[in-house]
Amino acid sequence: MEKSLFQFIWKNSARYQMAILLVTILSYPVSYILLDLPKTITNEAIQGSNFPVELFGIQLGQIQYLAVLCILFLLLVVVSNCIKLYLNVYKGRLGERMLRQLRFELFQRVLRFRLPHFKKVSSGEIIPMITAEVEDVGGFVGEAFALPAYQGGMLVVQIGFIFMQDPLLGLAAISLYPVQGYIIPKLQQKVVRLSRQRVKNVRVIADKVGESISGISEIHSNDTSAWHSADLSDRLYRNFRIRFDIYNRKYFIKFVNNFMNQLTPFFFYFIGGYLVIKGQLSIGALIAVIAAYKDLAGPWKELLAYYQMTADVSVKYQTVVENFDPPDLYDKQRLLDGESLVLKGPLTLDKLGLSGAGTGRGVHGVSLNVEPGKPLAVSGVDGSGRAELLQMAAGLLSPTSGAVSINNTNFESMSESTLGRQIAYVGGHLHVWTGTIRDNLFYGLRHRPQEKVEYEGSELKKRQRQLKEAAMTLNPHFDLKARWEDYVRADAGSMQELEDKALELCKVAGFSRDLYLLGVETVINPGEKEELNGSLIPELVEARKALREKIQNDTKLQNLVEFWDPEKLNMSANLAQNLFFASPKEHFMTIEYVPADPQISAFLKKTGFDVLLTDVGLQIAKTMVELFADVSTDSDLLNRYSFISREELPEFARIVNEQKGEQRRKRLRDVDRVSLIALALKLIPAKHRLGVLDDDMCEKILAARKQFMETVGKDNARFEFFDPDTYLTTLSIEENLVFGHARLDRRDARLKIQQVLQELVRERDLINPIRRAAFDYQVGIAGAKLSSHQRRSICLVRALLKNAHIYVLDETASSVSATDMALREELRKLLSDKILMFGVSNESVAEEFSAVVYLENGRVIER
């Protein structure tokens, strides 16, 4: 990568820089005439006397001449501003493009780092480099050549003018430049050094913040927040000192510059005055020189600012780029090569060596041959070199000596499109991507887009523009919207078949039960995947009815659920659900927000429920305040039972207090009303038993429920009504099937219902569709919502699905438990024609395999 900023800019944008320069030079005459024209207008057109004037062969009177000149002036104003606009847009666009290219190049380099390099760099440091630190480069690129050329040109012209008036004065004008030229870079050097420190310090800060976030549970469990606070605070202080130092020096440079600039006129007055007195220079010339010198200050200042900015941006560029140039970077071709070889035959590990670099985790002279269909167990405890050996066999780690090859082709010479498709590796450290289970299972099939998306009309134009920009910035042209899953690789013909295949493999991996449990929790949206969910939705609605019947007809299950019934209040649901009898489609619509929503608040006002609910809320608040008033603040009774949290209690106590006297409602503030209504809406009658709902109120709620549906309309964009015949896209599958609330006053009601549900699902053959629905389950940040078993299962299925030739499994299904044992058996069967290397730390597990190598301290030992 280019070591200096200017190399980078010139190499990637020389053409555009020339264009900018050209247009800049073109704008010189325009600006010059524009500056000169007002003088002509005042001197010749307004104060002139020799009329008529001849212009391009036409005789013009004074007024006409004035008009012509003014129109010319207007024209030039327009042209000059158009050039400026064009130039600025051009520069801006060039800057943004270069920024994009730089960022992409940096990211691509991250992809080319070898694994061991990631032990030395942290994401906390890399992220600010790619994002914030290079930001300024974008703004600088457009000015890199144009600004010094333009302002420098101006400067030369002005100085030339002064020299033409009098060489001595010219010398006086530039007499201090050498001094400035010596002092300012000296000062700037220090600023550059400080800038470097600042950048590095900020990186450390970013890294520390990142580490605190990932280690947050350690911080809490060890009471080390004070230590981390002090650590960060120390860094921030260092940052403050560096920044303030930079600030001081920068302004000192400005100060020196200003001082010197104002010192020069001293020579003018002295030398120029002397010359005038001696009669060697006219007074007019002296005044002209002094005026010209004033004009020098502008370009000079600009150039100085440019110089400072160049230094600043260069430092940033260099401090970033030096981190992305490790000597052992993978070749770019390895990443970009699209050709994928099909590997066949045995895998050979020839005298593999890996230097442990003092960690004691090296590998020494291991030679192995693994035939397809003859699984090999690699047994060794942690630190025996097992993990490293397997990573080398999977082509992830490059050996320091020896070679891994298949059919005499060294892994080192293969591209990632071969290695990544022909080898499947599940190791000790797993990663599950943020997204859905589907994204994760099919991740191993997403090598390149599999089809071309056909665009039309304006979409086509947008896509073409995107492609053009990609080409200009050396970005890839792959279409993110296309289908990336390679069906053929997984022996499937369609998404449906691929999912079937994945379901089968999930069964093998022991992930089916989890899939069901995640599936019932999944919220599916039939609109999105019509072809897959189309038939499922009606079936689920049918199952809902069957479940209801089953529960109602079974004496043991009776009364366990309160179903959504348009004609009845649901005592186990909160008032909001009871009143609106709907579920909001927007995620921000929490109960706290509901009363403030314009549509809802209008409805509440219309039906008089604003007053009713405020009263209910006030009553609840009163009771809560009474009940919990003298409970000490550190008791968790309040937070567990009340629907007012400890923090909110004083606020509600105040409202209750204010509402004691007469004429109370008048004094009620809108904010308070909203919180009271929200409080009322949270009430669950069966749980809270406060007796605030009398029969009259219940009837009103039922009436309002109908009214609400009529007001907003059945088909609206914001709410979904609890209609027994409709599948609700805002509820999970379980909520849709049960279609009510497990009764809160029945013990273990939810558990019993779930059992019944599972039976019913099995009877009606819905278990597979529900598992399939789990593919749309959001796994949280890096799979945080999944258990470690689930994460491992997903990674295993991901590996199995891609039909690789070589399987390297480490620390996967390697325990002595019966389930793992069965899974190993299944895996051996499933991968009977593949190369399988299986890493275990337990020797009794290793003995299950016909071929075993034992590792100790990075060497194969005899058993």
Partner 1 sequence: MTIDAEVQALSRVPLFQGLEPSKLRLLAFISDRIEFQDGEHLCHQGDDGDSAFVVLSGKVAVFVDENEVARVGQYAIIGEIAILCDVPRTATLRAVGTTHILAISKDDFLKLIAEFPKVSLEIMRVLALRLEKTTRELAQVRPAST
CB-CB neighbours of 263 under 10 Å: 12
Alpha-carbon distance of 609 to 477, in angstroms, equals 57
Q: Does 275 bind partner 1 (CB under 8 A)?
A: no
Collapsing DSSP to helix, strand or coil, 443 comes out as helix
Interface region with partner 1, contact rule CB under 8 A, candidates 473-481, 484-492, 556-564, 655-663 = 556-564
Nearer to partner 1, 468 or 689 (CB): 689
Nearer to partner 1, 653 or 852 (CB): 653
DSSP E strands in 435-574: the ranges are 561-563
Least distance (Å) between residue 632 CB and partner 1: 6
Least distance (Å) between residue 555 CB and partner 1: 8
Interface region with partner 1, contact rule CB under 8 A, candidates 149-157, 411-419, 564-572, 686-694 = 686-694
Nearer to partner 1, 638 or 806 (CB): 638
Q: Does 559 bind partner 1 (CB under 8 A)?
A: yes
User: How many residues are present in the chain?
Assistant: 863
Least distance (Å) between residue 127 CB and partner 1: 45
Angle, alpha carbons 723-725-729 (nearest 5°): 70
The residue from 260, 631, 698, 760 that contacts partner 1 (CB under 8 A) is 631
The phi, psi pair for 48, rounded to 5°, reads -70, 170
Least distance (Å) between residue 645 CB and partner 1: 16
The residue from 30, 589, 668, 690 that contacts partner 1 (CB under 8 A) is 690
Least distance (Å) between residue 655 CB and partner 1: 20
Interface with partner 1 in residues 180-209 (CB under 8 A) = none
Q: Does 696 bind partner 1 (CB under 8 A)?
A: no
Angle, alpha carbons 292-294-299 (nearest 5°): 95
Q: Does 627 bind partner 1 (CB under 8 A)?
A: yes
Alpha-carbon distance of 265 to 262, in angstroms, equals 6
DSSP 107-130: HHHHHHS-GGGGGT--HHHHHHII
Which positions ≥6 away from 455 have C-beta within 8 Å?
462, 463
Alpha-carbon distance of 643 to 576, in angstroms, equals 14
Nearer to partner 1, 21 or 690 (CB): 690
Least distance (Å) between residue 637 CB and partner 1: 6
Q: Does 301 bind partner 1 (CB under 8 A)?
A: no
Nearer to partner 1, 686 or 702 (CB): 686
Q: Does 554 bind partner 1 (CB under 8 A)?
A: no
Alpha-carbon distance of 159 to 154, in angstroms, equals 9
Reading the block at residue 439, the tokens are 């994204």
Q: Does 331 bind partner 1 (CB under 8 A)?
A: no
Q: What is the DSSP letter of 585?
A: S
Interface region with partner 1, contact rule CB under 8 A, candidates 260-268, 278-286, 318-326, 684-692 = 684-692
Interface region with partner 1, contact rule CB under 8 A, candidates 87-95, 157-165, 264-272, 689-697 = 689-697
Residue of 92, 432, 143 lying closest to 302 (CA atoms): 143
Rg of the chain, C-alpha, whole Å? 38
Interface with partner 1 in residues 727-746 (CB under 8 A) = 743, 745-746
Residue 298 and residue 177 in contact, taking contact as beta carbons nearer than 8 Å: no
Least distance (Å) between residue 722 CB and partner 1: 24
Nearer to partner 1, 451 or 634 (CB): 634
Least distance (Å) between residue 557 CB and partner 1: 10
Q: Does 250 bind partner 1 (CB under 8 A)?
A: no
Which positions ≥6 away from 643 have C-beta within 8 Å?
620, 624, 679, 682, 683, 688
Determine which helix (DSSP H) or strand (DSSP E) holds 837, and give its type and residue range: strand 835-840
Collapsing DSSP to helix, strand or coil, 592 comes out as coil
Its sign, for the CA torsion 105, 108, 114, 118, is: positive
Which x/- pattern over 451-490 shows residues binding partner 1 (rule: CB under 8 A)? Answer: ----------------------------------------
Residue of 225, 304, 219, 220 lying closest to 259 (CA atoms): 304
Q: Does 229 bind partner 1 (CB under 8 A)?
A: no
Nearer to partner 1, 133 or 562 (CB): 562
Which x/- pattern over 511-550 shows residues binding partner 1 (rule: CB under 8 A)? Answer: ----------------------------------------
Interface region with partner 1, contact rule CB under 8 A, candidates 177-185, 253-261, 516-524, 634-642 = 634-642
Q: Does 747 bind partner 1 (CB under 8 A)?
A: yes
The residue from 201, 641, 646, 854 that contacts partner 1 (CB under 8 A) is 641
Which positions ≥6 away from 836 have C-beta within 8 Å?
370, 375, 376, 807, 809, 827, 828
Collapsing DSSP to helix, strand or coil, 132 comes out as helix
Q: Does 698 bind partner 1 (CB under 8 A)?
A: no
Least distance (Å) between residue 355 CB and partner 1: 58
Least distance (Å) between residue 625 CB and partner 1: 12
Interface region with partner 1, contact rule CB under 8 A, candidates 11-19, 330-338, 388-396, 630-638 = 630-638
CA within 13 Å, CB half, 99? 20
CB-CB neighbours of 628 under 10 Å: 20
Q: Does 817 bind partner 1 (CB under 8 A)?
A: no
Q: Does 789 bind partner 1 (CB under 8 A)?
A: no
Q: Does 279 bind partner 1 (CB under 8 A)?
A: no
Collapsing DSSP to helix, strand or coil, 603 comes out as helix
Residue owning tokens 């009601």: 749
Least distance (Å) between residue 700 CB and partner 1: 19
Burial (CB count within 10 angstroms: exposed 0-12, middle 13-18, buried 19+), residue 49: exposed
The residue from 57, 527, 598, 691 that contacts partner 1 (CB under 8 A) is 691
Nearer to partner 1, 443 or 628 (CB): 628
Least distance (Å) between residue 750 CB and partner 1: 14
Interface region with partner 1, contact rule CB under 8 A, candidates 177-185, 395-403, 627-635, 699-707 = 627-635
Alpha-carbon distance of 254 to 236, in angstroms, equals 27
Residue owning tokens 């530039």: 174
Task: End-to-end CA distance of the chain: give it in Å, rounded.
Answer: 51
| Max CA distance (Å), the chain | 125
Least distance (Å) between residue 636 CB and partner 1: 7
Its sign, for the CA torsion 584, 685, 640, 668, is: positive
Q: Does 695 bind partner 1 (CB under 8 A)?
A: no
With contacts defined by CB under 8 A, how many residues of the chain interact with partner 1? 24
Least distance (Å) between residue 554 CB and partner 1: 11
The phi, psi pair for 307, rounded to 5°, reads -60, -45
Least distance (Å) between residue 629 CB and partner 1: 9
Alpha-carbon distance of 571 to 300, in angstroms, equals 80
Alpha-carbon distance of 583 to 390, in angstroms, equals 51
Nearer to partner 1, 325 or 748 (CB): 748
Give the footprint of partner 1 on this chain (CB under 8 A): 555-556, 558-559, 626-628, 630-632, 635-637, 640-641, 686, 688-691, 743, 745-747
